[in-house]
Amino acid sequence: MQCPHCGHNSSKVIDSRPTDDGRVIRRRRECENCGFRFTTFERVEVTPLLVIKKNGNREEFNREKLMKGIVRSAEKRPVSMNAITDLVDRVENRLRSSGESEVTSNEIGEYVMEDLASLDQIAYIRFASVYRQFKDMSVFYKELKEMMEKSGSNPTDNSGDK
């Protein structure tokens, strides 16, 4: 990375962080010759990840779409946008680190639910009910009961400060 000040060819990275959508890495660099500091934005190469839907169709993994689904589930819940972004990051990393170029929408849903269950139970229930399309409410209540027993807490507890 050439220094914009003196043209020297080597610089050291002093700070490195992904931008909000995770596709671009912002780097603060310092020229090793003159000490000039500058910022670069470097695109992360991502290999396409295809999602196999329930009907067998493929579509490209869409982070925004996944994010929207979770935001909707977490509406009016004490879940911050940061927590949701982190969750989506974890899910996406998990999908990409599997090394597969295709994943099923089922896998994605399961990963989200696992993670969401420990974040907010109401959001989890909403997501699960949309995602699994519970046809039979008794199945839904059974899952809910199991989850409550597992976590040992009351999902209607709204003690988060407001």
Nearer to Zn ion, 10 or 16 (CB): 10
Q: How far is the CB of 24 from Zn ion (least distance, A)?
A: 24
Alpha helix (H) ranges present in the chain? 63-73, 81-97, 105-119, 121-132, 137-151
Nearer to Zn ion, 39 or 133 (CB): 39
What is the separation of C-alpha 66 from the centre of its chain, rounded to a whole number of angstroms? 8
Count of chain residues binding Zn ion (CB under 5 A): 8
Q: Does 3 contact Zn ion by CB under 5 A?
A: yes
Q: How far is the CB of 111 from Zn ion (least distance, A)?
A: 45
Q: Are strands 37-43 and 50-52 parallel, antiparallel or unpaired?
A: unpaired
Task: Using CB under 5 A, pick the residue from 1, 27, 28, 33 that binds Zn ion.
Answer: 33
Nearer to Zn ion, 8 or 132 (CB): 8
Cβ(147)–Cβ(118) below 8 Å: no
Q: How far is the CB of 52 from Zn ion (least distance, A)?
A: 50
Task: Using CB under 5 A, pick the residue from 1, 22, 25, 36 that binds Zn ion.
Answer: 36
What is the tally of helices (H) and strands (E) in the chain? 5, 6
| Alpha carbon distances (Å) from 102 to 30, 44, 47, 108 | 40, 19, 11, 11
Alpha carbon distance 75, 100 (integer Å): 32
DSSP category for residue 48: -
Q: How far is the CB of 9 from Zn ion (least distance, A)?
A: 9
Residue type, 122: I
Q: Does 5 contact Zn ion by CB under 5 A?
A: yes
Task: Using CB under 5 A, pick the residue from 8, 63, 77, 96 that binds Zn ion.
Answer: 8
Task: Using CB under 5 A, pick the residue from 9, 15, 19, 34 that binds Zn ion.
Answer: 34
